[in-house]
Amino acid sequence: MIRAPAFLSGLGRFYIGLVLVFLYLPLVIMAAMSFNVSPFYQLPFEWTTEWYVALSDNDGLIAATLNSLEIAVMTTIIATILGTAASLALFRYDFAGKRVLQALLFPPIAIPWLISGTAMLIFFFGTGVGRGLHAILLGHVALALPYVIIVVSARLATFSKDLEDAAYSLGASAWQTTRKVTLPCIAPGIVAGGLFAFAVSFDQFVVSYFLATPGQTTLPVEIYAAIRKGFTPEINAVSTIIIVFSMSLMFVVSRFFRFGGDQ
């Protein structure tokens, strides 16, 4: 194996370090400010937990957070099941228009969410679906599905059909083969697709903003409304809790799955 010169190796580590600092420093500052007594980021830093206490009394922010979690979990379940089933169909069967369907998975990812949100608002009103949490759920599932299908399909691309053929030759049914052979082998891809679906749903602002009703909002919409009224460190507090939860979830998942490798 060719080894890079010490100077280039050190430069690479320095560059990666800068990237990590750029990504994580704002999060660290925000988390630190959630424990600062000053609501205006004034220094010196004085430790307090009053913003977390105030957060526990902020019914609007808590309700929006619960709405986001509920919608994100439901989106993850629905999109993962439908996306995995669609990926298996695309993997196992050849049919007319298959390549076209696969190509059509990418435009929804590339189209700006502002356009998607406007289109969904018009479509839902035209079909009588209307606005509300049910409409937000439908919109989030539609946005998350392409991510799940692409990720699971990428995992299936490394899966050998010979394993399924061997299971069939031993008398296994299609369902038994799927449950005991295929799904365990592509489990890391399914989990990764589910994480993408959760992230897309929980972080989605534009579609949620267009489809939410005044009494039913998600956390991104509530944070946007709170910032417009006047910033409060309670937003830092809830954001810190979400960051800790998200990173803990990722660490737990990565403990059991090696993404890009074997389980």
pLDDT at 248: 84
CA distance 62 to 55: 8
Reduced to 3 states (helix: H, G, I; strand: E, B; else coil), residue 213 is strand
Domains, the chain, in order of start with CATH, read 58-256 (1.10.3720.10)
CA-to-CA distance for 15 and 118, rounded, in angstroms?
A: 40
Mean pLDDT by 10 residues, the chain (263 residues): 65 88 88 82 79 82 88 95 92 84 84 88 89 91 93 88 84 85 88 91 89 85 79 81 83 66 47
Contact between 123 and 131 (Cβ < 8 Å): no
Q: Whole-model pTM?
A: 0.82
Residue-level pLDDT at 261: 47
What is the Cα–Cα distance from 101 to 12, expressed in whole angstroms? 40
Give the C-alpha separation, 21 to 194, whole Å: 28
